[in-house]
Structure 1
Amino acid sequence: MATDHELTLYVMTGCPYCIKVKHFLADNGVTIPERNISTDSDAEQTLIAVGGKRQVPCLFIDGEPLYESNDIIAWVQENLL
């Protein structure tokens, strides 16, 4: 994966939309660093502070939040595949 973007995927244990995104990434050989807000309180606080809400999945692209699993998948398809 060659990208000029700084990426972080915020997820939560058991979230079906997070699982959908993670399966898509795995199926396409894309690796994005993850932070799990269920087990990492700092990640949760960062998500809320930057994004303004506690919603996952959330892909931070160069520090900007992108929500909704379908939108994240579409961005990955357009920019990383």
Structure 2
Amino acid sequence: MATKYELYVLDGCPWCAKVLGYMQEHNIKLPTVSITGNPEARAMLEREGGKVQCPCLFIDGKPLYESGDIVDYLAKTFA
């Protein structure tokens, strides 16, 4: 079964830009959801992740926070 990913980001967030930049450099394409102006996405992030913090990478429904941790995960998983 394939792993399901969703990356939650906030427009203008430098940590989100770090993750998105890494993904672009390494041609990693994952579903991305901006919570900017999107109350439904913001509510889902808070409900499922326990807090409103971006970036947040959901991996099979489990949240991974912190841009460095997300980049490390992407480097290991998509190398």
Same fold (TM over 0.5): yes
Cα distance in 2 for partners of 1:45, 1:56 equals: 13
1:14 maps to 12
Q: Give the TM-score taking structure 1 as reference length.
A: 0.93
**Please, which runs of 5 or more residues in structure 1 have no aligned partner?**
none
**Please, which runs of 5 or more residues in structure 2 have no aligned partner?**
none
Correspondence list, 1:39-58, <5 A = 39-58=37-56
The letter of the residue matching 1:61 is I
1:60 maps to 58
Deviating above 6 A after TM superposition, structure 1's stretches of 4 or more consecutive aligned residues are none
Task: State the identity as a percent.
Answer: 39
Cα distance in 2 for partners of 1:65, 1:11 equals: 13
Q: Give the TM-score taking structure 2 as reference length.
A: 0.95
CA RMSD of aligned residues (A): 1.2
Whether 2:28 is the aligned partner of 1:30: answer yes
Cα distance in 2 for partners of 1:40, 1:60 equals: 17
